[in-house]
Amino acid sequence: MGRTSKGMALGLLMVGAFSGSTVASGPTVTQVVGGLNSPRGVEVGADGTIYVMEAGTGGTAACGETAELGKLCFGPSGAITTVKDGVATHLVEGLTSGAAETGEAIGPSDLAIGPDGTIWFLIGGPGGGEAAAFRDGIPEGAAAGLGQLYKIGSDGTPVSVADLDAYETANNPDAQQPGNANPDSNANGLAVGAEGAAIADAGANSLLLVSPTGEISVGAVFPVVFQPAPVDPTASPVPGASPQMIPMDPTPTSVVMGPDGALYVGQLTGFPFPVGGASVFRVVPGEEPTTYATGFTNVMDIEFAPDGTLYVLEIAHDSLLAAGPDGPPAGGLWKVPAGGGTPELVTAEGIPMPGGLGIAADGTIYISTCAACPPGAGGLVSLKP
């Protein structure tokens, strides 16, 4: 099932249909638009425009082998899409995208709008122990955009602000943790403020800070923890190994700036993806992260509502290991009271394989769906808690 440490393991999620947990009642989930290609991060602008990152469909020629996803072929099929009045339109096209033979894609992963209205966005990487060396080895420079932080210039053209893959290759902030000696980058979550950008790098197990002029520093490194290994019914018993413990990467996937000025980071967790094993951390750069809320499973995105409520989106409410012949469980949405407190499950149905969420000024929540499905199967849904 792939590597057990830094990677996000979205390869577990290729499906055609869904089954999952249910709750007794919950808000109505409404389809806003369909036909998207591996949609990920979502942002809602001040004017109500919804921005969705489409990881794309890869290409057909320039290919390379990854440890986690196998063969990836690259092409300029990633996009930033705007949705307004139920109509989806490409704002930016031609962004780097890589797709596996299953159709699962990597590419544009998240977007944020700065205080001055500038749009910043990320293109992630394959994870699984890959960084700049993999990217730079793809023929014809077809993967050159991977592992980059961009902003859109006044002429509408994307401009690279920082090379995150190169930073990870040179520095590898979590190198001293078990299983993480090799550089690995998969920039997945983005927040932007007056002092620059904060990036949740799921491969690097780190929160990276990028100044407006592109200097990169480490805001936090999240620790590996040990978890019991899943039971393997084909394995021979080993005396004294009950349960066997294995290292589990934190795998931070999302970051948002909180009402108190701190950064909040959600974690997917690495293998074995334990139910209830994911947390949201509060981070003040220069200090150790503290746990703000816990008890989640495979967090993909987090966002504060205007009233200070924190919404937490799970890509698989019943764990990535719950994948079966009909696909993994649907995602789940939780809310944490303003200022902290006991999380409450909003819904665990109607949100297949979500990739990101954004919240409008009126409290409406928008969620991208089918983040790792075949081409064209993705969409955007809305709900009002």
CA 55 to CA 110: how far, in whole Å? 10
Residue 298 DSSP one-character state:
S
The type of residue at 379 is G
32-67 b/e (C-beta count within 10 Å ≥ 16 → b): bbeebbbbbbbbbbeeebbbbbbbbbbbeebbbebb
The CA angle 342-343-347, to the nearest 5 degrees, is 150
Residue 279 confidence (pLDDT) above 80: yes
> What would the pLDDT profile of 24-55 be if each residue is shown by its tens digit?
368 999 999 999 999 999 999 999 999 999 99
Per-residue model confidence (pLDDT) at position 323: 64
Give the confidence band of 233 by pLDDT, cuts at 50, 70, 90: low
* Residue 316 one-letter amino acid: A
Number of CB atoms found within 10 A of residue 171's CB: 16
CA angle in degrees (0–180, nearest 5) for 28-32-37: 125
Among 50-54, 67-71, 178-182, name the one with the lowest average pLDDT: 67-71
The answer to the question of residue 234 being in a domain is no
Whether 15 has a pLDDT exceeding 90, the answer reads no
Does an H or E element contain 164, and which? helix 164-171
Residue 238's pLDDT is what?
57
- For residue 126, whether the previous peptide bond is cis, meaning omega lies within 30 degrees of 0, is no
Any domain includes 233? no
What's the average model confidence in pLDDT over 201-226? 96
Percentage of the residues of the chain whose pLDDT score is greater than 70 = 89
CA distance from start to end of the chain = 36
Q: 99: domain CATH number?
A: 2.120.10.30
Question: What range defines the domain where residue 33 resides?
Answer: 10-227+245-383
Indicate the average pLDDT of the chain.
Answer: 89
Structural tokens at position 352: 């297949």
| Residue 235 located in a structural domain | no
Q: Which of 78-82, 99-103, 227-231 has the highest average model confidence (pLDDT)?
A: 78-82
User: Could you give phi then psi for residue 216, rounded to 5 degrees?
Assistant: -105, 135
- Looking at residue 264, what is its pLDDT? 98
Query: Which helix (H) or strand (E) element contains residue 133?
Result: helix 132-136
Angle in degrees, CA 165, 254, 72, rounded to 5: 45
The verdict on residue 2 lying in a domain is no
- Mean pLDDT confidence for 337-347: 97
Name residue 21's beta-bridge partners. none
Cα separation of 178 and 6, whole Å?
Answer: 10
Question: Residue 343's closest CA among 318, 309, 368?
Answer: 309
324 secondary structure, DSSP code: B
Q: Where does residue 89 rank: exposed (0-12), middle (13-18), buried (19+ CB within 10 A)? A: exposed
Mean pLDDT of 7-26: 42
Residue 237 binned pLDDT confidence (cut-offs 50, 70, 90): low
237 lies in a domain? no
In a domain, 314, yes or no: yes
* Confidence (pLDDT) at 119: 97
pLDDT digits (tens, 9 = 90+) for 280-319: 999 999 899 999 999 999 999 999 999 999 999 999 999 9
Upstream peptide bond of 223 is cis (omega within 30 degrees of 0): no
What pLDDT was estimated at residue 235?
A: 54
The residues near 51 (Cβ < 8 Å, ≥ 6 apart) are 42, 43, 44, 45, 80, 81, 82, 83, 91, 111, 113, 119, 358
User: Smallest Cα–Cα separation from 355: which of 206, 254, 252?
Assistant: 254
Percentage with pLDDT > 90 across the chain: 78
- Averaged pLDDT, 225-235: 76
Predicted local distance difference test score (pLDDT) of residue 126 = 84
Give the residue with greater pLDDT, 324 vs 128.
128
**Residue 1 confidence class, pLDDT cut points 50, 70, 90:** very low
pLDDT (average), residues 176-192:
94
pLDDT at site 22: 34
Tell me how far apart the alpha carbons of residues 200 and 114 are, in angstroms, rounded to a whole number: 17
Quote the CA–CA distance of 340 and 288 in Å, as a whole number.
Answer: 18
Q: Is residue 236 part of a domain?
A: no
How many Å separate Cα 306 from the centre of its chain? 22
pLDDT digits (tens, 9 = 90+) for 104-113: 899 999 999 9
Which residue is it, tokens 């944020």? 112
Q: Is the pTM of this model over 0.95?
A: no
Predicted local distance difference test score (pLDDT) of residue 325: 62
For residue 27, tell me if it sits in a domain.
yes
14 confidence band (pLDDT: 50, 70, 90) = very low
Residue 140 phi/psi, 5-degree rounding, is 60, 15
Measured distance CA(79)–CA(55) in Å, rounded: 7
Q: How many domains does the chain have?
A: 1
243-to-157, 223, 226, 235 alpha-carbon distances in Å:
53, 21, 11, 13
